[in-house]
Amino acid sequence: MSIEVYLSEEKIQNRVNELAEQINKDYAGKELFVLGVLQGSFVFCADLIRKINVPVEIDFISASSYGAGTVSSGEVKISYDLTREIKDKHVLIVEDIVDTGLTLNKLMKHLEKKNPASMKLASLLFNPAKLEHKVDIDYLAFEIEDKFVIGYGLDYDGKYRELPYVGIYSND
């Protein structure tokens, strides 16, 4: 097993600052409901909201199609739902990675039924090579190659989330 640094801590923080600046402009004069998708987005979400200067309300939801593997199972499970109302609120979903798009498609349909005023997506990573379901990412930090990545909240079987960078995981 080896881990190669793919996106450094400094590069990630610079990009988080840039995304927050854009979000601050786009939501100036509004309140923002930030919805972190657990578990992978918690680090990105925490760093991002500390840079947002509009009023923020935060909640979390847990949806996944991976389980303990490195390949999507094809089945999405929402194991933890919102604890707050989003009706008529400006919702920003914060996700760690969009690859197949399956999880985000199901999640967004689930959230649309709750009648938010608007809904946008911020994602740390996007892997276009695996995309099967179209997803519009409004705030994207990095487009990546088709590699299995860990760190900065992303895991392999519950491990490596604490790394301050995004690394490429391999069994070599």
Q: Please give the Cα distance from 105 to 65 (Å, whole number).
A: 12
Catalytic residue (one of 47, 96, 99, 155):
99
Q: What element of type H or E holds 122?
A: strand 118-126
For residue 168, give Cα distances in angstroms to 2, 104, 129, 152.
8, 23, 16, 12
Known catalytic residue: 99? yes
**56-64 and 118-126 as β-strands: parallel, antiparallel, unpaired?**
unpaired
Beta-sheet strand order (sheet of 118-126): 77-80, 56-64, 32-38, 90-98, 118-126, 139-143
Concatenated DSSP letters of 143-165:
E--S--EEBTTB-BTTBSTT-SS
Query: How many other CB atoms are there within 10 angstroms of residue 170's CB atom?
Result: 11
Q: Residue 97: exposed, middle, or buried by beta-carbon count in 10 A (0-12, 13-18, 19+)?
A: buried
Q: Which residues are catalytically annotated?
A: 99
